[in-house]
């Protein structure tokens, strides 16, 4: 069995004091300060009371393991939080969008994505088939305007029952599982 894992190092901040190590070997060199300014979770993680926040130095970045996180989603998240917008894709596949939205929710940094959420969701709303699948990411990204517009499109262009997409546990129960007539009256 070959245990040699190929690593990919992405330098998002060359002066970064932290290297996030994702489960597949991806390494992201980032600034703990940039992450902390946008995320209450990172602020607590890199604060004085946790081990991850001790002895941070740009000359010897601290390695922090994030074994449960998606590498592409975390790369996007870190690029947005470091204002590296040229490194952020303007279009995401549905699964990528869900992963990025879930990471934003996990790290409580959806406010930093307020400009990206409509780009990723509303620009795809012309693909009316499956527009309901965009509700979940817009919900996780706390994008009320996109969520409302996507809800209207879902109701207008879905016949019968609105099924709840898989893996949408944080969504309120009342969003899916209604007939379009009942959903329309709720809007």
DSSP for 95-109 reads HHHHHHHHHHHHTT-
Could you give the domains of the chain?
Answer: 1-88 (3.30.710), 97-187 (no CATH)
Q: How do strand 18-22 and strand 26-30 relate by DSSP bridges?
A: antiparallel
pLDDT mean for each 10 residues of the chain (187 residues): 62 95 92 96 88 74 92 97 95 89 94 92 68 82 88 75 56 50 49
Per-residue tokens: 25: 């070997």
- pTM for the model stands at 0.80
| Residue 61 near residue 29, CB atoms below 8 Å | yes
- SS3 (DSSP) at 144: helix
- Give 51-106 pLDDT, tens digit per residue: 776 777 777 898 999 999 999 999 999 999 999 999 999 998 888 998 999 999 99
**Cβ neighbours for 140, distance < 8 A, ≥ 6 positions apart:** 101, 102, 104, 105, 110, 170
Give the dihedral sign, CA 85/86/89/91: positive
Q: Is 122 exposed, middle or buried (0-12, 13-18, 19+ CB in 10 A)?
A: middle
């Amino acid at each position: 069995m070959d245990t040699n894992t190929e690593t990919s190092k992405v330098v998002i901040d060359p002066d970064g004091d932290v290297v996030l190590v994702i489960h597949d070997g991806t390494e992201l060199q980032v600034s703990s300060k940039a992450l902390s300014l946008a995320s209450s979770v990172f602020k607590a993680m890199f604060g004085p009371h946790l081990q991850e926040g001790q002895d941070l130095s740009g000359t010897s970045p601290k390695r922090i393991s994030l074994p449960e996180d998606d590498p592409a989603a975390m790369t996007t998240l870190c690029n947005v939080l470091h204002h590296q917008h040229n490194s952020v894709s303007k279009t995401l596949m549905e699964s990528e969008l869900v992963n990025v939205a879930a990471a934003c929710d996990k790290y409580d940094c959806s406010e930093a994505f307020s400009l990206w959420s409509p780009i990723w969701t509303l620009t795809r709303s012309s693909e009316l088939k499956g527009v309901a699948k965009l509700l979940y990411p817009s919900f996780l990204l706390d994008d009320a305007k996109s969520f409302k517009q996507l809800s209207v499109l879902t109701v207008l262009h879905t016949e019968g029952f609105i099924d709840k997409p898989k893996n949408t546990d944080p969504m309120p129960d009342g969003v899916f599982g209604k007939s379009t007539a009942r959903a329309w009256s709720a809007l």
